[in-house]
Each structure stands twice: as structure tokens, then as C-alpha cells.
Amino acid sequence: MKVTILGGAGFLGRKLAAHLAGHGRLGENQVSGLITFDFVDSPAPLDADFPVRRLQGDIAALPDEAIPHDTDVVFHLAAVVSAQAEADYDLGMRVNLHGAEAVINACRRIASPGRQPPRVVFTSSIATFGGGQDAKLEDDARQVPANSYGAEKAAAELLLADASRRGFLDAVSLRLPTIVVRPGRPNRAASSFLSAIIREPLLGLETELPVADAFAAWVASPRRAVDWLLHAAVMDTESMGIDRSVNLPGISTTVAHMLQALDEVRPGASALIRHTPDPEIAAIVESWPAAFEAMRARTLGFAAHEPLVDVVRAFVEDDLEATRAERGLPRQ
């Protein structure tokens, strides 16, 4: 099985590539080759039993070698995140929408009669919905995004679903919850603070909280996100019909509960958080729904989520020391 990861330098792309390299399989299929693609160079070569090729370039001008003719699975993770897409409309459109068009065109180029079209696993977002803090959305809820990032992701979902209907590819669009805890450094996502309020205190650093403790969010861990990506790559899509998008079974939590979980793992760590209201960030994230039914995802075999305290413990086990080293911080 030949696999391409677009957005391979991002944290989920790196985790996904490391999993494939370590296990050598995708479902019941042996991985025979991996390509990672991003606008920056991907991390050092993986120790894998199959060839791994790292490519660098513009997702909207995707080179043919990023999705060769024998590609079986494409993980399309490349994106400009929410606050950055709101601040730079042209960049958000280029990467989030025209990048998806480039993926469709690449898959259409390699499609041939009698050959199974490549599976495309696309990371969409709950930002494609509005509704705000009081919403609990069912699977057939209408998508009414309140920001450019969500609009671009929703448009890309529709294009991928139509490309599936036409047989160019076989898409599964995953509407990811906010992923916590992200390793590394803060990024320009409006929701970046949801990782920072766990990650930075565990690193011994102060951080700012731009919303109130009562702010609620639909979240998921990196471990669960990788599991969902892997499942989407090999699941039977026949029962999905023309609706190729899935609201995933994350967990609804508040900032207050996140800080409680933080203190359970590292007592007193929440004292490093400073409440610093930011109306611009709040205006974006408070438009996102805080809870989903996600019944369809469960019937399609997507795993349920672990408790919040286990999310914090998983960051300590998987990413804390690597993040400390990446940022040049002394070991505690």
C-alpha cells in the first residue's frame, strides 16, 4: 500500500508517519511506500522497513510526484489554521480551498478504469459549524461557519464529496474537534490556548487564557485523532453514500474542567495561567459549537474518547520531554 501524507511536517502528520513507520501496516495492509509533503521540510527520515520520501512545496501547486499513479491512500492534513486564515484571506483560500482542489485534480489524473480510486482522508473541522456555546449538534446539523477557515473547510468537504460521487477518489472528511494537547510551540490557531493552558504549565511556563473558565469546547486528544485517521483510511465507505463527512466522537469540556485535570496530574500547575481576555479570539471560538451527538461516527466504527485526565497524562507520556527539548528548555 502506497501512502501520501500532505501536511507531513505538522504535528498530526508527524505522529501519523511515525505510526506507519513503526507498525508497517495500515489496517490489514502492509505499507510499501510513504511520501510526506509540506511547505517546509519534514523532520528527519523515519526508521521504516519501506521507502520514505520527503517532498517540499506548495499544496495549491501540488507536484505530480506528491501523489504518484500508484497511490492508495492520501491523508490531506495541510491547512492554514483558523486565526491565520481570518487574518490572511488570500492565504487561507489558497491552502484550505485551492489545496483541496489540487488534491482532487491529482487523484483525477491517476484514476483509471478498473482501479480502486485512492482513499482521501481529509481533516476538516468543527469550525464549519456555528451555534456557539449552547449548541449540541446532531449529525444532520446545517453547516453555517462564522469564520473564513470554517467556510473554506466546508467548501472543500463538498468538493471532495462530489469528486467521490464521480469516482475520482474515495473521500472521508473528518470534522476534527479541537486537538489537545498539541506538542511544540503555540501556533496561530484561535484555539491554540486550549493546548497552551495544559502544555505551558507542564513545561513550567506561564501562559495567557483569553476566555473565561466557563468557556466550553469540543476536544480530542492526538492519540484519538491518529486512531480516527487510521480507521478512516481503511473503513468501508459504501454505507456513507454521498455524504462523506463525519462529526467525530470527541468530548465536551470547559476550561475549568481542563484546569482541574491539569492539577490532578501536576498539582498546582494551573497557578501559572494568567486570565487575559482577548475579544478577537473569543469572537472566533465562541461561535463554535461545544457539543455534538456524533452517533454516525460510532456506527461507522470510530472509537469513543478517553477521559480528560487521560488526555493530560498522554501528553506527559508522549510529548512533554520532546517538546521541552524542541524548545530548548531544561529538564525538570
Active centre residues (catalytic)? 149
Q: Which residues contact 175 (CB under 8 A, 6 or more apart)?
A: 124, 125, 126, 128, 129, 245, 246, 247, 248
Q: Which residues contact 195 (CB under 8 A, 6 or more apart)?
A: 179, 180, 181, 182, 186
- Per-residue 3-state assignment (H helix, E strand, C coil) for 218-230: EEECHHHHHHHHH
Q: Which helix (H) or strand (E) holds 102?
A: helix 99-110
Q: What are phi and psi of 107, to 5 degrees?
A: -70, -35
Cα–Cα distance measured from residue 222 to residue 229, given in angstroms and rounded to the nearest whole number? 10
Cα–Cα distance measured from residue 221 to residue 126, given in angstroms and rounded to the nearest whole number? 15
User: Is 246 within 8 Å of 228 (Cβ atoms)?
Assistant: no
- State which amino acid sits at residue 87: A
**Residue 100 to residues 127, 168, 235, 294, Cα–Cα distance (Å):** 17, 13, 21, 25
